[in-house]
Structure 1
Amino acid sequence: MPEVAPEARIGTEGGEFRERPIERIGEPRRWRNAERTRADLLEIATEEFAEKGFAGARVDEIVRRCGVTKNVLYHYFESKERLFVEVMELAYARMRKRQNEWSFADLEPKDAMAKLTIFTFEHFRDEPQVIRLLNSENLHKAKHIAMSGKIPDLYHPLIAAIRDVLAKGRAAGQFRADVDPVDLYITISGLSYFYLSNQYTLGYVLRQDLMAPERLKQREKHMVDVVLGYLRA
């Protein structure tokens, strides 16, 4: 196997930032794809922050795993804090993207609320890193996401969609009239978040496998019953 040359370092050409090519002896020089490098740094940083929290994650480990220098990371993200902000933005954006892939408009109000409840649970179940990232950020009292100008805006379309479904449900005589869409979304998120974030301790003290397939189906049904029972006119 050809010998790998030292890792890429920062270079400039005509005043423009470029990463030096990755070289293998006896092979043509290949320039590292800048967008791919940035995406790789975000993915690896997501894993590190989720596993160790903001305070415990180390930039040295992130760049080591990505195969770049600190200079490369700081070129893209300026600081560890800025990197964490973008990790959080990516986590929130992925959740909103999944929710945007289906529409409330085509569903009956009860079906829409049931689907939102199940979707929220399944997203947290399928993306456990999100729970750990949120746990870390709550320890810091939302200090880092407060630096983001994007995250609050991601929620506006969702809350507006919930408000529309509630209005349709009221007009159809299915839903009560005093439901606040923000309170409802917090409740739906809490039903999922608490169960999954405490699965190990609750599972131990209650002597149950909370992540067994049949148990997860039971949990989804319970959450839908709770939400629709609350909404019932």
Structure 2
Amino acid sequence: MGYGGGEAACGCHEGPTGQMPSVKKQTARAGKTTPIKRRDRDRTRQEILDIAFAEFAENGLSGGNTDAIAARANITKRLIFYYFNSKEELFTAVLEMAYAKMRAAEEDLHLEALEPEAAIRRLVEFTFDFHHANPEFVRLVSIENIHRGRHIGASQRLKEMTQPSISQIAKLLARGVASGAIRPGVDPIELHMTLNALSFFSVANRHTFEAQFAWDMSSPKAKAQRRSEIADLLWRYLRKV
């Protein structure tokens, strides 16, 4: 159960600027005051989010333990609820942070500088590599699906994050159609979904697939081959014959 986000909840008080004030300690010998380092609010909040990300990705929302998060952050549990009113709010903030990381990286692709085929292959490579480099992100998304996407659905910030990604794909498709390289009529959301489904599977389903088919999905060679096959598959789907 969460606590209300206020001074009583964390056992601390804020100064007029909204920052936690310095506490001064009297020295026994000289009667002087020595300032105790003030906790940086943004740094503390980010540390909570980073630790909560690992905790929720490993144990889910229901199994995630705020006591464990507090212990790892070396803070009180009440301080967690000073920054985040509830465990659910903390989980939503973790999702926002995780998706923001991916969206920020997508902005650096500069697909507009590439020819349509090269741009599609670059997008595939990025998406595939991101999922493999961030298996905790894949687990977190799977956990949110268990909860029927209710946290993402309630977050306006997460909804807004989607638009630049889809807009980037839409512009790439339009440019490809105009040049005669890509066939018309491809929906950018459908393409985004297909690309992520193909990339997501090899991380989310790796263990069960390997166990059933004795198929290597985790070696550098296997990942490079799978990435190349996805790029070939999508380009053959998109190109104008």
Shorter-chain TM-score above 0.5: yes
**How far, CA to CA, are the matches of 1:65 and 1:22 in structure 2?**
26
Q: CA deviation at 1:204?
A: 1.7
Matching of residue 167 in structure 1 with residue 168 in structure 2: no
Contact 1:19–1:34 (CA under 8 A) maintained in structure 2: no
Deviation per CA, 1:72-92, whole angstroms, max 9, x where unpaired? Answer: 111101110100010000000
Contact 1:203–1:210 (CA under 8 A) maintained in structure 2: yes
Deviation per CA, 1:81-133, whole angstroms, max 9, x where unpaired? Answer: 10001000000000001111121110101111111111001000111111110
Aligned pairs for 1:168-187 (under 5 A) are 168-187=175-194
- Structure 1 gaps of 5+ residues are 1-8
Contact 2:177–2:184 (CA under 8 A) maintained in structure 1: yes
Q: CA deviation at 1:147?
A: 2.0
Map of 1:41 onto structure 2 = 48
Q: 1:140 aligns with which of 144, 147, 156?
A: 147
Matching of residue 196 in structure 1 with residue 190 in structure 2: no
Aligned pairs for 1:4-15 (under 5 A) are 10-12=11-13
Q: What TM-score do the two structures reach when normalised by structure 1?
A: 0.90
SS of equivalent to 1:36? helix
Distance 1:70 1:229, change over 3 A: same
**How far, CA to CA, are the matches of 1:135 and 1:148 in structure 2?**
17
Contact 2:70–2:80 (CA under 8 A) maintained in structure 1: yes
Aligned pairs for 1:1-233 (under 5 A) are 10-12=11-13, 18=20, 29-233=36-240
Matched AA of 1:120: T
Runs of 4+, deviation exceeding 3 Å: 13-17, 19-23, 25-28
Root-mean-square deviation over aligned CA pairs: 2.2
Percentage of identical aligned residues: 35
Q: CA deviation at 1:14?
A: 5.4
Q: What TM-score do the two structures reach when normalised by structure 2?
A: 0.87
